[in-house]
Amino acid sequence: MILKGNLLFAPELGKLECLPNGCLRLNDAGVITEICKQLPEDAQAEEVVDYGDKLIMQSFADMHVHAPQYPMAAMGLDLPLLDWLNKYAFPQERRLADTEYARKIYRRLAQDLIAGGTTRVVMFSSLHTDATLILMEELEKAGISGYVGKVNMDRNGAEGLQETTEESIRETERWLEECKRFTQIRPILTPRFTPSCTDELMEWLGKTAVERDLPVQSHLSENDAEIEWVRNLHPDCAQYWETYAKYGMWKKGTVMAHCVHSDARERAAMKEHGVWMIYCAQSNANICSGTAAVRQMLDEGISVALGSDVAGGAHLFMVRVMEDSIRSSKIKQKETGLPFLTTAEAYYLAGTAGHRYFGAKSGFSVGDKLHAVVLDDSRFAVDEGRTLEERLERAIYLAQPTDILAVYAEGKKVK
Q: Note the residues at the interface with Zn ion (CB under 5 A).
A: 257
CA atoms of 305 and 111, how far apart (whole Å): 22
* Residue 102 or 257 with smaller CB distance to Zn ion: 257
Q: Please state the closest distance from residue 309 (CB atom) to Zn ion, in A.
A: 5
* Residue from 363, 322, 317, 315 nearest 118 by CA: 317
The conformation of residue 161, written as its DSSP 8-state character, comes to B
Q: Please state the closest distance from residue 210 (CB atom) to Zn ion, in A.
A: 24
Q: Please state the closest distance from residue 68 (CB atom) to Zn ion, in A.
A: 11
Q: Please state the closest distance from residue 379 (CB atom) to Zn ion, in A.
A: 33
* Residue from 378, 376, 370, 381 nearest 411 by CA: 370
* Residue 129 or 308 with smaller CB distance to Zn ion: 308
CA atoms of 99 and 273, how far apart (whole Å): 38
* Residue 258 or 371 with smaller CB distance to Zn ion: 258
CA atoms of 399 and 376, how far apart (whole Å): 9
Question: Is the Cα torsion angle 92, 401, 6, 46 positive or negative in sign?
Answer: positive
* Residue from 230, 221, 229 nearest 258 by CA: 221
Q: Please state the closest distance from residue 302 (CB atom) to Zn ion, in A.
A: 18
* Residue 54 or 64 with smaller CB distance to Zn ion: 64
On whether the CB atoms of residues 407 and 414 are closer than 8 A, the answer is yes
* Residue 79 or 414 with smaller CB distance to Zn ion: 79
Whole-angstrom CA distances from 398 to 17, 280, 381, 392, 394 are 21, 20, 10, 10, 6
CA 222 from chain centre, in angstroms, equals: 16
- Number of other residues whose CB lies within 10 A of the CB of residue 37: 11
* Residue 190 or 239 with smaller CB distance to Zn ion: 190
The conformation of residue 322, written as its DSSP 8-state character, comes to H
* Residue 84 or 364 with smaller CB distance to Zn ion: 84
Q: Please state the closest distance from residue 411 (CB atom) to Zn ion, in A.
A: 30
Count the residues in the chain: 415
* Residue 2 or 257 with smaller CB distance to Zn ion: 257
Q: Please state the closest distance from residue 410 (CB atom) to Zn ion, in A.
A: 26
Q: Where are the alpha helices (DSSP H) in 274-307?
A: 281-286, 294-299
CA atoms of 133 and 147, how far apart (whole Å): 12
Whole-angstrom CA distances from 215 to 8, 211, 218, 380 are 31, 11, 10, 41
Q: Please state the closest distance from residue 54 (CB atom) to Zn ion, in A.
A: 34
CA 159 from chain centre, in angstroms, equals: 29
CA atoms of 81 and 93, how far apart (whole Å): 15
CA atoms of 323 and 319, how far apart (whole Å): 6
* Residue 119 or 283 with smaller CB distance to Zn ion: 283
* Residue 116 or 307 with smaller CB distance to Zn ion: 307
Q: Please state the closest distance from residue 257 (CB atom) to Zn ion, in A.
A: 5
Q: Please state the closest distance from residue 218 (CB atom) to Zn ion, in A.
A: 9
